[in-house]
Amino acid sequence: MGVHLKRTLFCIGFASAICLPLISQAQVAVQAAPDQKALLKAANPRLAANKRLVYDFWREVLEAGHMDLAPKYMTESYIQHDPNVPTGRKGFVDYFVKYDFSEPKPIEPAVKAKLASIVAEGNLVVFSFVSECTDPKDKTAKCSTTWFDMFRIENGKIAEHWDSAEKWPLEEK
């Protein structure tokens, strides 16, 4: 047996010994961060401010439905990449008033959604959330994944948003 074949077989055997036990293990569930305030910290004050801006927007506008606060957080020319929500601050507000919020709710001190992490780099802020679902192979089992929302900050306001949403049909209220 040639030296190259021996090395190849050794590498395959080694990789199998290491990887197969990992493949056969159950999924590690995504966990929410135990301390959201710790997620808001950053060595760079601008990055900390960007994190706080998006965090407060999420709590006040998206979760509590205070669409009247949208101008405080969003540029008028806000760009939306979610295929279900119109672009522009007005389009965003009109959409959420029509489909999600008829009455604003009390503003909570922390994000209610299961927030896993906040990452800020330059003018971008990324939120990741725990997303729980039913296992398609076993309807009695649950699995978890992560949902990401990314925001671009411009002059202290949210100017652009991305997520992984797909187009879905909406029913009129």
Mean pLDDT of 5-31: 49
Residue 88: phi and psi, rounded to 5, are 85, 145
Question: What are the tens digits of pLDDT across the range 127-140?
Answer: 999 888 787 888 88
Residue 23 falls within a domain, yes or no? no
pTM of the full predicted structure?
0.77
Q: Is the pLDDT of residue 15 over 50?
A: no
Mean of pLDDT values over 30-56 = 92
Give a yes or no: residue 139 inside a domain.
yes
pLDDT at 135: 78
| In a domain? residue 8 | no
Judge whether 3 lies within some domain. Answer: no
Residue 163's nearest CA partner among 133, 125, 132, 135 is: 125
Tokens of 146: 């992560």
Query: What is the CATH classification number for the domain harbouring 131?
Result: 3.10.450.50
Which residue range is the domain that position 136 belongs to? 29-163
Strand 74-80 relative to strand 138-154, pairing: unpaired
Domain count, the chain: 1
**Residue 77, domain member (yes or no):** yes
Question: Among 10-14, 92-96, 142-146, which range has the highest average pLDDT?
Answer: 92-96
Residue 114 domain-assigned? Answer: yes
